Amino acid sequence: MAATPRLPAARVRTLRQRLLGWYHRERRDLPWRRTRDPYAIWLSEIMLQQTRVDVVIPYWQRFLTELPTVHALAAAPEDQVLARWAGLGYYSRARSLHRAAREVVTRWGGVFPRTPAELEELPGVGRYTAGAIASIAFGVPAPLLDGNVARVLARLFAVEASVDAPATRAELWALAEALVDPDDPSGWNQGLMELGATVCVPPPGSPRCEVCPLAGQCAARAAGRQHELPVRAPRKAPRALTWVTLAATTRAGALVLARRKPRGLFGGLWELPSAEPAADETPAAAAARVVAALGLPGRPAPRRAVEQEHVLTHRRLRLLAYRVTLPARGTAGVTIPGDAYDRVALVPPAELARHGLSSATSRLLEALSLA
DNA sequence: AATCCGGGGGT
DNA sequence: ACCCCAGGATT
């Protein structure tokens, strides 16, 4: 356990003054900084989990245009919510968002709770997001700790222990709590994150200490260790995975899509019916197995079409796509292709956008000239 | 405490 | 090729 730095009141005062001055002078004009609507701010915080600002902006704007209130979101079908999340990743966020909207309506009468403890009871809202909503939307002096803040604090106080270790996390949370400005918690919290995103940047970039408002107070800078901190836990290598996927179309051009069950990888999203080849099974045999699972009469033989790689943080997916045209009378009795799915549908090209597709599926359909 | 869960942009 | 991102839930 690393030593907890002492925080003299005068030091805290200086840090607050410098960071807040800098933030209110230099802050980026982000769309969710133009609203005070807790719903819009909550939506931004969920989308921003492990996701960059620039990626989120268009999603946030589109989502808010189509579902402008928590009531609209609560009333929407889950499939529609996932369709609007398609491409953003971490799809359990969308499902939790939807459940949380219904809770806000049913349990809280459509009015968001204001305290971190109450906010944290909402699905998809953890300690960080609760602190963010409480401080930014309601001005509650709650701390928050995200990747940016952890990096800034680790450098500012020269925290040498791994920032991924639970004991270090606790220490950083304690620092964040002691530092949050009671008069401007929103500005302080966003200032810390803004500093981490634009000045006190992670490797392989270099921290821009020459423009940092806290450079004079920074312990890592004083020790010349700003490039060495924070210490992160080593990353595990992604596991390799092969999926055989079947692009089955009718003569009219409709495509067979299957919806994955709610939990797990790509949960709730639509995709080409797929199967993982068994250890002793050839890809062609696995493709034939998918055809059989669809219950197609005559069991037409699929032909190998395209191969594509899709890299995730912890998975390396090899997608082997097979192509088949459905027999004319085969479209009525298409069955759910295996226990990874809970629905199957014939989707005309014009209706593809109404289905939530992962980027992997979108790219695959593109490569197959089906989208 | 470890693992799972997407995708993309910057270097 | 590698890093990590306005993290949370599950086991």
Q: Where are the domains of chain A?
A: 9-222, 239-367
The Å distance, CA of A14 to C1' of B4, is 41
Q: Of all nucleotides in the shown strands, which has a C1' nearest the CA of A28?
A: C6
Q: Tens of pLDDT along A75-85?
A: 999 999 999 99
Q: For residues A62 and A44, is the Cβ–Cβ distance under 8 A?
A: no
**Amino acid letter, residue A293:** A
Query: Which protein residue's Cα is closest to nucleotide B5 at C1'?
Result: A90
The Å distance, CA of A194 to C1' of C4, is 16
Q: For residues A42 and A236, is the Cβ–Cβ distance under 8 A?
A: no
Strand B within 7 A of A276 CB: no
Instruction: Map residue A325 onto helix, strand or coil.
Output: strand
Return the closest-CA partner of residue A268 out of A348, A357, A334, A353: A357
User: Does domain A9-222 fall into CATH 1.10.340.30?
Assistant: yes
Strand B: which positions are within 7 A of a protein CB? 1, 3-11
Strand C within 7 A of A27 CB: no
Query: Which protein residue's Cα is closest to nucleotide B6 at C1'?
Result: A89
**DSSP class of A352:** G
A325 to A85, A272, A353, A358, A367: CA distances (angstroms): 30, 14, 22, 23, 17
Q: Considering only residues 60-99 of chain A, list those whose CB is below 7 Å from strand C.
A: 90, 92, 96
Q: Of all nucleotides in the shown strands, which has a C1' nearest the CA of A47?
A: C6
The Å distance, CA of A123 to C1' of B3, is 20
Q: For residues A19 and A214, is the Cβ–Cβ distance under 8 A?
A: yes
Q: Tens of pLDDT along A238-251?
A: 999 999 999 999 98
**Amino acid letter, residue A95:** R
The Å distance, CA of A45 to C1' of B1, is 26
Q: Is A78 one of the annotated active-site residues of the chain? A: no
**Contacts by A173-179 with C-beta closer than 8 Å and gap 24+?**
A173/A127, A173/A143, A173/A145, A174/A4, A175/A4, A175/A5, A175/A7, A176/A143, A176/A144, A176/A145, A176/A149, A177/A143, A178/A7, A178/A12, A179/A7, A179/A12, A179/A15, A179/A16, A179/A143
CATH fold of A239-367: Nucleoside Triphosphate Pyrophosphohydrolase (3.90.79)
The one-digit pLDDT tens for each residue of chain A (371 residues) are 445 667 999 999 999 999 999 999 999 999 999 999 999 999 999 999 999 999 999 999 999 999 999 999 999 999 999 999 999 999 999 999 999 999 999 999 999 999 999 999 999 999 999 999 999 999 999 999 999 999 999 999 999 999 999 999 999 999 999 999 999 999 999 999 999 999 999 999 999 999 999 999 999 999 999 999 999 998 888 999 999 999 999 988 999 999 999 999 999 999 999 999 999 999 999 999 999 999 877 778 899 999 999 999 999 999 999 999 987 765 667 999 999 999 999 999 999 999 999 999 999 999 999 98
The CA-CA-CA angle for residues A271, A268, A370, to 5°, reads 20
Instruction: Map residue A80 onto helix, strand or coil.
Output: helix
